[in-house]
Each structure stands twice: as structure tokens, then as C-alpha cells.
Amino acid sequence: MDAWVWVLLSPTTRTPDHMIIPDLAEEIRDGTPNADSTEDVIKLSRCMYRDGLVPDTDASRTRSALEDLFDGYLDHNVSTCLRHLHDLDLVNRWVEGPETLIIHDRRDEIVNGEDLERLVVEEIERVIADMQADDPSDDSDDTAAVADGGRPDDTRVLRDTLADAFEVDPEDVEDELRSGDVLDRIDKLGTAVTAIDFDSAVEKDREYDDIRFIRNPYQYELSERAMNLINA
């Protein structure tokens, strides 16, 4: 049985401090002589080793996943420790899948590969439908339509909020939201969602939310070099 597998299975490895990896620890100390975080870098490498985040396995973690697991155990942040490990060629990092992820906040899903135009149109139309439903009804006693800039009883409605956010006349909000290419409209969708969320005078009655682009986070595991030091 490989040495690292035996260590992972051993009952004496329930905490990272029980793991003896002197050559790796020495390499980290030599490579970070002036860093306050050196001992935490060693601790993180022990944690990754203990949890099987090593080459030739399906086990890897993102930085945020490592933070969830080990932030309370380390005095320095995981990001700093990973940076030192990467600078010393002691971790592998890579992006699994596309470089950019498209996040549909209302669905709480990654929507790469779906028709982005359709998704944006649907979300924009949800905003518009909510805004129009918030306008005064045609049979209202007050004939000053909010779409023409009227504000019955000084009541603020969604159309007012969006007109202010886009710096357009109230009657032009629909055209503003529907204009532009798909990236322009994604930006406008975000502006509309934020404006409504932060305006305490209005409430939304329908579900809609941002569509966002984020960078796909790196996956991390210990490198072959780290394993050679551990098994030396």
C-alpha cells in the first residue's frame, strides 16, 4: 500500500497535526522565510493531504470550499496559503469546465449552453410585467397615469424607481429595458433588480433576478512535487 494511502486510513490522522511530513514542511519553511503565514501553509498542506486532495484522484476543492473547511483552523486566510503553495509548485490548480460561468440567480443555476437571448428576454419581461401591474388601473378615479409621470397621492411605484435608475421618462422604461444587445440588456436587468431591491418605497410582486457572469474558480490539489517530498 502506498505510504500516503496508509496515512489517510490510519486512525492516528484524525487531525492534521498528527501527520509527519518533515520534508514538505522544510521545503515550505525554506520557501517562505519571511512570511508570517508559514506554519499555516504547512497546516493547509497537511489538511489537503489528509483529505486526499492529491494527484490521480477525483478529489479536488475550490478555494471557497477549502475556506469553508479550514478557515477556523488557520490564523491566516486560505487564499494566502494557497498562493504560497502555488508559488512553490506544491499545488496544482486548474479550471474545470468553461473559463466563465453564467449564473441565473432566480433559478440558482449555472446556465452555460442555454439560449442566453431567451433567458434575458424572459427575465426582462418579468420586470416589465411587474412594473406594469404596479401602475394605477385604468378604472382608477385618478386619471393621471403613472406612465405619463403622474404620482397619485405621491405614491412611488416601480415605474418611478426604474425611470430614475435609467434616467428616462416613465413612459420610456419599457423601451429602455428592451433596447440594446444581449449584454446591454443583462446590464440593464442588473440595474433594474438592484434599483428595486434598494428602494424601500416599492415592492416587487413577481420573481426575477440577475443573470451574471463569473469566473469559474480554480480547483486545487497537492502537486506531484509535494507528493515526492511527502514520500521521500
pLDDT beyond 80 at 12: no
Average pLDDT over residues 29-43: 94
User: Which residues have a Cβ under 8 Å from the Cβ of 139 and sit 6 or more positions away?
Assistant: none
Q: Are 37 and 76 in contact (CB under 8 A)?
A: yes
Residue range 210-230: mean pLDDT, rounded: 96
Where does the chain hold its CATH 1.10.10 domain(s)? 3-97+218-230
Task: Read off the pLDDT of each residue in 154-164 and give the average, rounded to a whole number.
Answer: 93
For the ranges 81-90, 146-155, 219-228, the lowest mean pLDDT is seen at 146-155
- Give residue-wise pLDDT tens across range 78-122: 999 999 999 999 999 999 999 999 999 999 999 999 999 999 999
* Confidence class for position 6, pLDDT limits 50, 70, 90: very low
Please identify, in words, the CATH class of the domain defined by 3-97+218-230. mainly alpha
Q: What separation in angstroms does the CA of 8 have from each of 87, 90, 108, 219? A: 26, 19, 35, 21
C-alpha cell at 39: 506554519
pLDDT tens-digit series, residues 115-149: 999 999 999 999 999 999 999 876 554 434 555 55
Residue of 165, 158, 160 whose CA lies nearest to 132:
158
Q: How far is CA 11 from the centre of its chain?
A: 36
Whether the per-residue pLDDT at 2 is higher than 50: the answer is no
